């Protein structure tokens, strides 16, 4: 029996430690641990509720928009204006969030995940005239001539022995890695047109957004979006398919817990004040890898266990009454992440969950995209619940959302309101559920004396990266690791590939 510790688990947001036990080449136990505590839920108390969406964005610099949305939705509901958001405000929120979905998914595949599969050093063999590739070739040659491989950082050192693309495919993928850097920047520029700056926007506020649409900005947004859609269709999707074909065994690796949960994202109208039932593009719901049956959700059934987390506050609380009292030396604790559960169940969240739930709900476009992809690989739906299934679902979702954004953009009405008016109530409660690119996100707020009396966040990596709950059930990433065969304990590619497929 051997123990492998990967700390830091890199190319993610934040600080994550993965510890696995390997017996006869197979992972028999796994622990996922968040190693940093900044105390947002504590520092929010006592502040003006209107400041929440600005502070919470700083929880995650990759998905700040989703935190802003969860906060704004919780304030919409606390202020009693959830059904009064003007269409411009609703649509602009969707467009700002949509732009960050595209940004985040491209960043995830090319800049966070791809180095697990693509051998950048093969560019040394490149013979063409592409300036980007030649500058990378010079960069590699310089390191090899100096006999100093450290000069190849950040692409080196790395695990060795399992890069399977052809030389040409490695070269093309490297060119796309560079192109994708520009594309994700473009997606942020697109969001900025309506939100001031990225990351950490200033436009998403309770009631809607601060800046209304103008014709010039709509046109500007449209052409940026066109370029991104072209990249998603012509580059991102084909690259995911090429990588998936070369690493097809990863359709059977990293299955996970098999229960999928989504709180839904992209409001199609705001008539419904109960966010569990609001009309959304990607549906709220719960489904299972074994039967694909759609189930509606009730956010009252969410609870957070802390038996194995570094908190001394009570375990099993609903987040509306949640507490966060750190105790780093707590016996049995091994992470700063709490263990959120839905109706007691361990749930995977993220693009795979959203696509599977929207599929099970009966959305014809999503169904067709997923079925076509499965047909291409001659695979059954079970293959979706895997490392490559998650990458494929993420890429398909990027296309699905980007295509919808065109319709939304054309529905904007310059000159009409973009924000509802409100006043801070003395006492109120609110819940804001939404989906970050990497999964379900929900915030619960209590207001007392016009101040934040309690604030609890349940972000995506609390779900996926959660520790064991009070009953001892491992979290989704832990479950996805357990049972995996490690080919080479000195180069345990499998661990990073599985964990990163969740985009923690």
Partner 1 sequence: MELNRRDFLRLSAISTVSVGLMYLRITEFAKDGSPVYAATSDTTEIPIIWLATGSCTGCTISLLNSLSPTIRNILIDEVVPSKHLSMRFHSTIMASEGELALEELKKTALNKGNYILVVEGAISTKDHGIYCEVGEIEGKGITGLEQTVSLGKDAMLVLAAGTCASYGGIPSAAPNTGGYTSVTKVFADAGIKTPVVNVPGCPPHPDWFVGTAATVLISGIEAVKLDPYGRPLAFYGKRIHEICPRNGSFQLGQFSKKFSDPYCMYQLGCKGPVTYADCPIRLWNSGNSWCVGANSLCIGCVEPGFPDIMSPLMKKAEGWEVDPLALPKPEKEDTGISPALAAGLGAIAGAAVTGAGVAISRQISTKPKTDEKSQKE
Residues between 195 and 214 that touch partner 1 (CB under 8 A): 195-203, 205, 210-212
What does the angle CA 397 – CA 186 – CA 262 come to, to the nearest 5 degrees?
A: 25
Q: Tell me: does residue 182 bind partner 1 (CB under 8 A).
A: yes
The helix/strand/coil state of 246 is helix
Query: Closer CB to partner 1, residue 40 or residue 385?
Result: 40
Q: Tell me: does residue 146 bind partner 1 (CB under 8 A).
A: yes
Which range binds partner 1 by CB under 8 A, 234-242, 350-358, 418-426, 454-462?
A: 418-426
Alpha helical stretches, state H, 214-325 = 215-231, 237-246
Q: Least distance (Å) from partner 1 to the CB of residue 245?
A: 22
Contact with partner 1 (CB under 8 A) among 254, 350, 475, 496: 496
Token match 């304030």: residue? 75
Contact with partner 1 (CB under 8 A) among 189, 272, 343, 403: 189
Q: Least distance (Å) from partner 1 to the CB of residue 193?
A: 6
The helix/strand/coil state of 161 is coil
Query: Closer CB to partner 1, residue 23 or residue 48?
Result: 48
Which range binds partner 1 by CB under 8 A, 189-197, 229-237, 404-412, 458-466?
A: 189-197
| Cα distance between residue 32 and residue 186, in whole Å | 33
CA distances from 90 to 144, 275, 342, 422, 495 (A): 54, 14, 28, 16, 40
Contact with partner 1 (CB under 8 A) among 2, 23, 26, 153: 153
DSSP state of 470: T
**From residue 222 to residue 251, what is the string marking binding to partner 1 with x (rule CB under 8 A)?**
------------------------------
**From residue 75 to residue 114, what is the string marking binding to partner 1 with x (rule CB under 8 A)?**
--------------------------------x---xx--
Site for partner 1 in 473-492 (CB under 8 A): none
The helix/strand/coil state of 433 is strand
Full DSSP string of 452-475: EEEEEEE-HHHHHT----TT-PPP
CB 349 within 8 A of CB 464: yes
Contact with partner 1 (CB under 8 A) among 159, 292, 377, 422: 159
DSSP state of 65: H
**What are the backbone angles phi and psi of residue 119, rounded to the nearest 5°?**
-100, 95
Contact with partner 1 (CB under 8 A) among 87, 156, 268, 316: 156
| Cα distance between residue 55 and residue 42, in whole Å | 12
CA distances from 263 to 92, 95, 278 (A): 20, 18, 10
Q: Tell me: does residue 428 bind partner 1 (CB under 8 A).
A: no
Which range binds partner 1 by CB under 8 A, 138-146, 231-239, 274-282, 299-307?
A: 138-146
Which range binds partner 1 by CB under 8 A, 356-364, 400-408, 411-419, 435-443?
A: 411-419
């Amino acid at each position: 029996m051997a123990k492998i510790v990967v700390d830091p688990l890199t190319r993610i947001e934040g600080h994550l430690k993965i510890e696995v036990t390997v017996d006869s080449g197979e992972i028999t136990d796994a622990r996922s641990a968040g190693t940093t505590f900044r105390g947002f839920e504590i520092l929010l108390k006592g502040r003006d509720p209107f400041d929440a969406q600005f502070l919470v964005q700083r929880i995650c610099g990759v998905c700040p928009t989703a935190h802003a949305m969860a906060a704004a939705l919780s304030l919409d509901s606390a202020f009693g204006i959830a059904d009064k958001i003007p269409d411009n405000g609703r649509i602009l929120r969707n467009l700002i969030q949509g732009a960050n979905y595209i940004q985040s998914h491209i960043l995830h595949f090319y800049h966070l995940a791809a180095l697990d599969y693509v051998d950048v050093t093969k560019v040394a063999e490149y013979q063409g005239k592409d300036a980007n590739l030649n500058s990378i070739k010079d960069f590699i040659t310089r390191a090899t001539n100096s006999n100093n491989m450290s000069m190849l950082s950040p692409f080196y050192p790395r695990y060795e022995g399992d890069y399977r693309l052809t030389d040409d495919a490695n070269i093309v993928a490297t060119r796309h890695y560079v192109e994708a850097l520009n594309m994700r920047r473009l997606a942020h520029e697109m969001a900025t047109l309506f939100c001031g700056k990225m990351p950490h926007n200033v436009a998403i506020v309770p009631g809607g957004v601060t800046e209304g649409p103008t014709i010039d900005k709509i046109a500007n947004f449209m052409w940026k979006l066109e370029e991104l859609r072209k990249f998603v269709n012509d580059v991102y999707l084909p690259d995911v398919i090429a990588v998936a074909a070369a690493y097809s065994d990863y359709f059977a690796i990293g299955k996970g817990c098999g229960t999928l949960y989504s709180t839904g994202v992209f409001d199609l109208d705001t008539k419904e004040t109960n966010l569990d039932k609001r009309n959304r593009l990607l549906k709220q719901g719960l489904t299972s890898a074994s039967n694909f049956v759609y189930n509606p959700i009730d956010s009252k059934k969410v609870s957070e266990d802390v038996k194995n987390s570094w908190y001394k506050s009570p375990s099993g609380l609903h987040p509306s009454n949640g507490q966060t009292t750190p105790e780093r030396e707590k016996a049995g604790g091994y992470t700063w992440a709490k263990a959120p559960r839905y109706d007691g169940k361990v749930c995977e969240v993220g693009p795979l969950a959203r696509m599977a739930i929207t599929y099970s709900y009966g959305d014809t476009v999503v169904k067709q995209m997923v079925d076509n992809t499965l047909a291409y690989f001659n695979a059954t739906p079970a293959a979706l619940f895997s490392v490559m299934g998650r990458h494929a679902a993420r890429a398909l979702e990027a296309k699905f959302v980007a295509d919808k954004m065109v319709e939304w953009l054309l529905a904007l009405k310059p000159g009409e309101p973009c924000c509802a008016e409100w006043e801070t109530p003395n006492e109120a409660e609110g819940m804001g559920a939404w989906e970050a690119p990497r999964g379900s996100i929900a915030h619960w707020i209590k207001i007392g004396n016009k101040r934040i009396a309690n604030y609890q966040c349940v972000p995506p990596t609390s779900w996926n990266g959660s520790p064991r709950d009070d009953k001892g059930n491992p979290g989704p990433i832990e479950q996805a690791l357990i049972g995996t065969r490690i080919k080479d304990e000195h180069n345990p590619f499998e661990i990073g590939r599985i964990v990163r497929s969740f985009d923690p």
